[in-house]
Amino acid sequence: MKILFELGHPAHVHVLKHTIWNLQKSGYETKIVARAREITPKLLEAYGFAYERLEKYNGLTNKTFGLFINNYKLFKIAKKFKPGIFVSVGSPHSAQVSTILRKAHISFGDTDVKKYTLYHLISSLTCPFSDVLCTPSCLISKINPKKHVKYEGYHELAYLHPNHFKPDPHTLDQLNLSNKDKFIIMRFAAWDAVHDIAHRGFKNNQERIEFVERLQTKCKIFVTSEVNIPELDKYKIPLAPEKIHHLLSFATMYIGEGATMASEAGVLGVPWIFVSSWGRGYLDDQEKNYGLGYTVSDSKEALRIALSLTENENLKNEWSEKRKKMLRDKIDVAKFMTEFIRRYPKSFHEYKNRKFKYS
Mean pLDDT of 23-39: 93
Q: Is the pLDDT of residue 124 over 90?
A: no
Whether 134 shows a pLDDT value over 50: the answer reads yes
**For the residues 107-115, what does the mean pLDDT come to?**
77
| pLDDT at residue number 117 | 46
- What's residue 120's pLDDT? 52
Contacts within 8 Å (CB) and 24+ apart, 294-300:
299/202, 299/203, 299/207, 299/211, 299/275
- The answer, yes or no, to whether residue 34 has pLDDT greater than 90, is yes
The helix/strand/coil state of 166 is coil
- Mean pLDDT within 62-80: 91
> pLDDT digits over 200-217, tens only?
779 899 999 999 999 999
Taking the C-alpha atoms of residue 339 and residue 319, their distance in angstroms, rounded to an integer, is 31
Alpha carbon separation from 29 to 74, 76, 167, 293 (Å, rounded) = 17, 18, 30, 40
Across the range 346-357, mean pLDDT stands at 79
In one letter, which amino acid is 27? G
Residue 198 pLDDT class (50, 70, 90 cuts): very low
**pLDDT band, residue 196 (cuts 50/70/90):** very low
pLDDT band for 114, please (50, 70, 90 cuts). low
Q: Is the pLDDT of residue 197 over 60?
A: no
Is the pLDDT confidence value at 122 over 50?
A: yes
Out of 137-141, 229-233, 265-269, least confident range: 137-141
pLDDT at residue 27, as a whole number: 97
Between 154 and 278, residue with greater pLDDT: 154
**Which region, left, alpha or beta, applies to residue 55 given φ > 0 means left and ψ of -120 to 50 means alpha?**
beta
Region 44-48: mean pLDDT is 96
- Judge if the upstream peptide bond of residue 345 is cis by omega within 30 degrees of 0: yes
- Distance separating the N- and C-terminal Cα atoms of the chain: 25
CB 165 within 8 A of CB 204: no
Q: Is the pLDDT of residue 195 over 60?
A: no
Task: Please choose, from the candidates 177, 259, 192, 264, the residue with its C-alpha nearest in 3D space to the C-alpha of residue 222.
Answer: 177
pTM of the model: 0.92
With a CB cutoff of 8 Å and minimum separation 6, the contacts of 121 are none
Please name each of the domains of the chain with its CATH number. Answer: 2-160+332-352 (3.40.50.2000), 170-329 (3.40.50.2000)
Mean pLDDT of 22-47: 94
Instruction: Place 358 in a pLDDT band, splitting at 50, 70 and 90.
Output: low
pLDDT at 115 over 60: no
* pLDDT at residue 143 greater than cutoff 60: yes
Average pLDDT in the chain: 91
Residues 319-334: pLDDT tens digits? 999 999 999 999 999 9
Q: Report how far residue 167's alpha carbon sits from residue 16's, in angstroms, rounded to the nearest whole number.
A: 19
